[in-house]
Structure 1
């Protein structure tokens, strides 16, 4: 019976990468190539590694020609990077491009005659050129994906804050704009504001019914509990008075 254990090795990948990778329309071979790169880079705590098309094909149990096409496509879409692309006659050193904002998502291929295409089949026919409207649609779609991705970060960030707040009421009333502001302000600042408000409740013995709803606090009142970091006044240097000349007229002379 198979019994995989983390002690025998694992691949650490940020959830943010997986979230955005799954939004791409990758075919099976392209996905295998990406996973293989994950396995031999992130899986060994390194950014890049030399991987040949034949090795990836054996590892992923797929056709080497399909792997070569996938490698070319993934590089064109800026999903993977060949570090030593300028060198000829050497094994490609590949790395995954973590900056998903540079990726170029492409829409699915158009297939005529109502045929279902499976891996290994070649489709022939006229090349369908993208119209200006289609290009505009792709650009708009990309912008929407980026916007949705940002909203997800704001929501995930807000969930952390919500867990720390004492009166969890009105969660749905917290606006997207407010969540964005909270995210931009930073976790440490907002958590400090929550902590300060909790301390005030404890100190004043505030009754439950008078505690601010979560929606009220996170929609703006949290700002009232941010500590202002006042700069310490710099002590003024005492003015240096000019030395007075010594009067020797009254000094008794002894000789």
Structure 2
């Protein structure tokens, strides 16, 4: 299937692109930057929680390689740390839009500089980010160069909510990337985030009580669809009764 703009796109200031292709970075560093672009500007925000493990899984490379190359990018001031990591959340990073501060010469003279808190990997919480976002209307196009504002759609907010609660319920980092399309499809079809969370809590508690373990979000899919269908049928019946009552009244 051919890539289409209507399926989502990422707005990147020309100045950033021009500075990047003039900067001496290796392939792994360039890919990490593209990954950061996707999960920040791709969701109309300037920074986000991005742990080394999450980046490594998304890119299909080793975590130690991400750690090494990402720290070089931070040392070169191409990537900016907005918030340090804690025991429950990854550090918040983004691209440094002040390209005059970039120093690519450091890559050949310094190794992977350790950033405070970098060694701490979060144990719980929503570290992962939602799947491809929606369309930004032309009238809402704005510059990422100066005061970029965090803007998320309701669907993305619902995804973040489900993702965070999945991490809480299962004591993990959040949804697996392989589960993102399923959750996104459910939300796009009108399934409420609260309904999804309620089903997860109920079925997970029952599974644990029976001595089992939930390995992926797909364990809940059928139950969520059934509950959503039942809720829709109930609403439909209520609508008919309301209409009859109005006619008879």
TM-score of the alignment, normalized to the shorter chain, above 0.5: no
Q: TM-score if structure 1 supplies the norm length? A: 0.40
Q: TM-score if structure 2 supplies the norm length? A: 0.41
Which structure has the larger Rg over C-alpha atoms? Answer: 1
